[in-house]
Structure 1
Amino acid sequence: MSEVFEGYERQYCELSANLSKKCTSASILDGEQKKQKVSEIKSGLDDAEALIRKMDLEARSLQPSVKAILLAKLREYKSDLNNLKSEVKRITSTNANQAARDELLESGMANTLMVSADQRGRLLMSTERINQSSDRIKESRKTMLETEELGVSILQDLHQQRQSLLHANNTLHGVDDNIGKSKKILTAMSRRMSRNKWIIGSVIAALALAIILILYFKLAH
């Protein structure tokens, strides 16, 4: 998983938990204190949106298999951020009457604490899923590295086999050249032998003719 994404993720989780606490405290305040607290919450929401955008850009720049997992987490964080915005709108609403505010003083705090606990529970579950996804990604990365090493080993073996085949091919070419030279030498020797046969035959015929002539002259005299 991207270390940059994990850094933004930790910042967002801490900021979200802090904003949830501020929403809880702002819901029981009134007057200037409430306005100041709401102003802090809105500033925090802007920071949270900026972190969401950064996580989105980082996730989309990664490999498809990792990107799909991170974008799924990002949808949960966006949903969490929308819940925080809805909580701020509810706190800052001018349509609520004084009776509703009084009721919130008594029961709203407990309900908000329950909502905050629920949000923290979801964040903890998200963190656990993140850790599990990180482990799966690490295992996938390990498998990819092992596969890559195996591929490199196979390529090296194929290269060695190719070199052996090229060497054998060169050796065969050398043998063919030697056979061609030997064939030429044998052909030349055969021609010389044929020529020598004709010469020897001519010599023998000449000698025979000479002997016949000698015998003829001797017998004639």
Structure 2
Amino acid sequence: MSEVFERYERQYCELSANLSKKCTAAGALDGEQKKQKISEVKAGIDEAESLIRKMDLEARSLQPNVKAVLLVKLREYKSDLNNLKTEVKRLSSGGNYLSARDDLLESGMADTLTASADQRSRLMTTTETLNQSGNRIKESKRTMLETEELGVSILQDLHQQRQSLLHANNTLHGVDDNVGKSKKILTSISRRMNRNKWIIGSIIAVVIVAIILILYFKLK
């Protein structure tokens, strides 16, 4: 549903209801007061026609499935406006009827007026329902956007946690590499120490043998 069309529609329904009240009030007046009230109604009818033209232009610019629904509603609004025009003409004829109600009854327009009022009431109810539906749709969109933002935030947190885990994993690999290198160095040192022990032991053994030989030759 077009927001522009809905705005024009609300304005028309409010204006139509106001004009209907003014027509009823004009039927109970006489003289200049009645003429003034009829002039106000005629000015309102001009404004209502302008709103209907705007709604028609807006409806025809929409997609075919939406346009078809809105054009049906426009026909109802045009019929409602024609009833208002007929009522104004009857009031402007200046007959000698005692009241606008008697005038409508005698001319067979009472049923039309009642039907028009019912039609306006249904249209206003429909408009209110459409507005509520539009508000619910907007609320749903807002909830969807909030959910989407929450999802994006969760994904960002998960990405950061993944990066942290990858960093920790890389750090562990680095530690493992360092431990491996340290183990190799310690093994190498251990081997050198064992080799040095054998060398020192051999030297000591040679020295002892030499001392024994020297003592032996001296004593002999």
**Normalising TM by the smaller chain, what interval?**
0.5 to 0.7
C-alpha distance in 1, partners of 2:145/2:182?
Answer: 55
Kept after mapping to 2: 8 A contact 1:8/1:51? yes
State the AA in 1 paired with 2:209. L
Name the structure 2 match of 1:53: 60
Tell me, yes or no, if structure 1 residue 178 matches structure 2 residue 174: no
Kept after mapping to 2: 8 A contact 1:52/1:78: yes
Contact 1:15/1:48 (<8 A) preserved: no
Supply the RMSD in Å over aligned alpha carbons: 3.9
User: Are the structure 2 counterparts of residues 75 and 14 from structure 1 closer, same or farther at C-alpha, using a change threshold of 3 Å?
Assistant: farther
Aligned equivalent of 2:8: 11
**Cα 1:139–1:14, aligned 2, differ >3 Å: closer, same or farther?**
closer
CA shift at 1:168, angstroms? 1.8
Helix, strand or coil for the counterpart of 2:107? helix
Aligned partners of 2:5 and 2:58 also within 8 Å: yes
* 1-structure distance, mates of 2:52, 2:139: 35
Q: Which residue of 1 aligns with 2:188?
A: 188
Query: For residues 79 and 218 of structure 1, what CA distance do their matches in structure 2 show?
Result: 141
1:210 equivalenced with 2:210 (yes/no):
yes
1:106 and 2:107 are equivalent in the alignment:
yes
SS at match of 1:173: helix
Q: Measured at CA, do residues 217 and 119 of structure 1 come closer, stay the same or move farther in structure 2, by a change above 3 Å?
A: same
8 Å Cα contact 1:13-1:123 kept in structure 2: no
How has the CA–CA distance of structure 1 residues 84 and 120 changed in structure 2, closer, same or farther, with 3 Å as cutoff? closer
Say if 2:73 is the partner of 1:80: yes
Query: Gaps spanning 5+ residues in structure 2: where?
Result: 20-45, 81-105
Structure 1 residue matching 2:200: 3-state secondary structure: helix
Q: Say which SS state the counterpart of residue 130 (structure 1) adopts.
A: helix
Q: 1:29-73 deviations in whole A, cap 9, x for unaligned?
A: xxxxxxxxxxx9x9997755422123x34xx9xxxxxxx9xx5xx
3-state SS of paired residue (2:190):
helix
Partner SS, residue 182 of structure 1: helix
- Please tell me the residue identity of whatever aligns with 1:158: L
Output the CA distance in 1 between the equivalents of 2:139 and 2:194.
81
- Whole-angstrom CA distance in 1 between matches of 2:214 and 2:130: 124
Counterpart in the other structure of 2:22? none
Q: Displacement, 1:125?
A: 1.4
Count matched residues: 166
List aligned pairs for 1:63-74, cutoff 5 A: 71=66
Shift of residue 179, structure 1, vs aligned partner: 0.9
- Alignment-mate amino acid for residue 74 of structure 2: L
TM-score, normalized by length of structure 2? 0.56
Q: Per-residue deviation at 1:129?
A: 0.4
Contact in 1 for aligned 2:9/2:55 (Cα 8 Å):
yes
